[in-house]
Amino acid sequence: MSKKLAINGGTPVRTKKFDIRKTITEEDKKAVAEVMDSGDISMFFGSPGAFWLGGSKVKEFENNWSKKFGFKHSITVNSWTTGLMACIGAVGIEPGDEVICTPYTMSASATAAIFYGGIPIFADIDPKTFNIDPKSIEKCISPRTKAIMVVHIFGQPADMDAIMAIARKHNLKVIEDCAQTPGIRYKGRYVGTIGDIGGFSLNYHKHIHTGEGGIIVTENDELAQKCQLIRNHGENLVASLGVKDISNTLGSNYRLTELQAAIGNVQITKLDYCLKHRAKLAKYFSDKLSKFPGLTPAFVAEGSEHAYYQYPIKFDENIVGVPRATFLKAIAAEFPKPDIWEQTVMVGGYVAPLYWAPMYQTQTAIGKKGFPWSVNPTVKYNYSRGICPVVERMHEKEMINSPMIREAVTEADLDDVINAIEKVIENIGELKGL
């Protein structure tokens, strides 16, 4: 094979496209067909009675989820975005309350608070795990702080011991966004109920899915009931249920259908394989990556498992010799053009730090008068560039995200990725001045 890099007209390392993940099998189809035959494709009813908590498949799926992980309450919702909103409502966030969140996450982790008039305050991240940094959380606490939204990003739990200690000290609620960490343990405990309440996404891109969907988990009976009320028109139910504190029980329709719940019952049986395969691939990839100076394989903290929703690599441009964008362009040229994002070998960064978004820059979320920031008119909220220097450096320069750790990928596929990295690094001189 010519050593000339493909970006300069050389022969690429690979011409065959990578397989795309296939998540739906005959079993899922059969489960859906059974519900279709029954005709009861959703059984929820928004008023008192047997079906206020959903139909048989919804209840079965919730039971299966609780049983598998040992959670007391599992409450399905039609997305984890709405699940996050229900959690925010349940813990009692009200206009002007501040919720501390990481900026390196999917936007919904932070926006959920805004729907209740809560104000996201962004703490910086740990440069090794990319998770929210407890030291930075402490600096964000004000008399208005009510909760911490913890996101276990890319598949690895955040530093929960330190976070829970801060929460107890300052009397804060802790919500765990486990969208990227289903079935993952932190020091032996499944994430989701280490804090007060948490939950999982079941959207198509997640480890297991129901197309769209989510599931809230908690050990707290009162929080569970609030979520059930919010999920299904709570205002109609509070009287008959004798709910004493009706604050934030105003409801919506966050109900999962029986069709999705039936898929969920099949998908839950696929999770163990999914996590095991990803862990095996990641170990293989990490071992091989560790021989390249300037590339640091995914870090896994002591006592943590990792779901590898994404595989994060640290890139040091001073050691590799070219900027990240140049390196990634050269790598991409060694592979066929992807049909979908999942087939990309490596991408630079993740979602841009959330506070860069126009909503935070202009403090314009609900209406045009600055709500919810306007609730605290004497507080000057700062979302300028530079407030979280670590996240900005990771996103702009140092983090490389690989979607290669997934069910359809083999060790032989990863060998091609490793060969491409080796080729680019050995011939880095070809990239200087490009």
Contacts with ligand PLP by CB under 6 A lie at: 79-81, 105-106, 108-109, 151, 177, 179-180, 201, 203, 214
Local structure of residue 17 (DSSP, 8 states) = P
Minimum Å distance from CB 19 to ligand PLP? 23
- Give the residue with the Cβ less far from ligand PLP, 99 or 179: 179
Q: Which of 394, 379, 391, 426 is nearest to 132 (CA)?
A: 391
Q: Give the three-state DSSP class for 357.
A: coil
Minimum Å distance from CB 356 to ligand PLP? 17
If one counts every other C-beta atom within 10 angstroms of the C-beta of residue 77, the result is 28
C-alpha 216/C-alpha 232 separation (Å) is 14
C-alpha 394/C-alpha 75 separation (Å) is 35
- Give the residue with the Cβ less far from ligand PLP, 96 or 312: 312
Minimum Å distance from CB 120 to ligand PLP? 13
Minimum Å distance from CB 212 to ligand PLP? 6
Minimum Å distance from CB 385 to ligand PLP? 23
- Give the residue with the Cβ less far from ligand PLP, 134 or 198: 198
Minimum Å distance from CB 151 to ligand PLP? 5
- Give the residue with the Cβ less far from ligand PLP, 160 or 424: 160
C-alpha 193/C-alpha 174 separation (Å) is 9
**Residue listed under structure tokens 């994002």:** 341
Q: Give the three-state DSSP class for 428.
A: helix
Minimum Å distance from CB 81 to ligand PLP? 3
Q: Which of 201, 186, 187 is nearest to 156 (CA)?
A: 186
In our burial notation (b when 16+ CB lie closer than 10 A, e otherwise), range 11-45 reads ebbbeeebeebebeeeebeebbeebeeeeeebbbb
Q: Which helix (H) or strand (E) holds 416?
A: helix 411-426
C-alpha 320/C-alpha 327 separation (Å) is 9
Contacts of residue 33, defined as CB under 8 A and 6 or more positions apart, other chains included, come to: none
- Give the residue with the Cβ less far from ligand PLP, 137 or 179: 179
Q: Which of 275, 272, 258, 273 is nearest to 61 (CA)?
A: 258
- Give the residue with the Cβ less far from ligand PLP, 179 or 262: 179
What's CA 315's distance to the chain center, in Å?
A: 22
- Give the residue with the Cβ less far from ligand PLP, 105 or 296: 105
- Give the residue with the Cβ less far from ligand PLP, 175 or 282: 175
C-alpha 176/C-alpha 197 separation (Å) is 6
- Give the residue with the Cβ less far from ligand PLP, 108 or 160: 108
Q: Give the three-state DSSP class for 138.
A: helix
Minimum Å distance from CB 78 to ligand PLP? 9
Minimum Å distance from CB 181 to ligand PLP? 9
Minimum Å distance from CB 204 to ligand PLP? 8
Q: Are 251 and 105 in contact (CB under 8 A)?
A: no
- Give the residue with the Cβ less far from ligand PLP, 87 or 179: 179
Q: Alpha helices of 105-243 — where are they, by DSSP H? A: 108-114, 134-140, 160-170, 221-231, 238-241
